[in-house]
Every structure is written in structure tokens, then in C-alpha cells.
Amino acid sequence: MNPIADIVPQFDLLPPQLSLPQADPDAPGRERRLELAREAYRYSYDKANIRGLAMCEALADAERPDAGGGAGWPGWRRGWWSTR
């Protein structure tokens, strides 16, 4: 009996489909996505009170907190600490 074999899953996990830039089959699409991300997320290292730490200058609209202050997290309004 092999105790290690008993805890190994009986199925194969497939790795995610990743590619290096030089081997990407959709290089133009990759460049477009990178440009959009660079426009949405601009970082500054020059804040007066936290020099050297990258801070996003502005949040993308999709990542702004909702009107209830929940930032899109499930259960936030009720509170994760709530027993209800």
C-alpha cells in the first residue's frame, strides 16, 4: 500500500493556455490588449508620502466601488463578520 498514491487526484489537471510574446499566435491582439491595459492603469512612483511604491493614479471604472461601498465583493454589505 502506498499512502502517497491515496492522496494524489485521479484526474489530470491541464495547464492554462499561455504563450510567450514571440510564440503568440495572436500578436496583434496581444498588443491591443496591452495598450488598453496601459491606458487604464497608469502608475506613479512619485507620491510625496510613499516614494518608491507604485500607486495607480486612477481606478478603472469597472473596479470602482459600487454605491453601497461594496467594491463588488459578494456579501460585503452584510459584512463577512456577520452571523446572519
Residue 50 lies in a domain: yes
How many Å apart are CA 14 and CA 21, to the nearest integer?
Answer: 21
- pLDDT tens digits for 11-30? 667 766 777 778 888 889 98
**Quick check: is 78 in a domain?**
no
Q: Is residue 38 part of a domain?
A: yes
Geometric angle at alpha carbon 48, from 42 and 52, rounded to 5°: 60
Q: What is the C-alpha separation between 23 and 25, in angstroms, rounded?
A: 6
Q: Is residue 77 part of a domain?
A: no
- Asked if residue 82 is part of any domain, the answer here is no
pTM, full prediction: 0.40
Number of domains in the chain: 1
Residue 84 in domain: no
Domain that holds residue 37: 28-57
46, three cell numbers: 512619485
Q: Is residue 62 part of a domain?
A: no
Residue at 53 is within a domain: yes
pLDDT digits (tens, 9 = 90+) for 52-61: 788 887 777 7
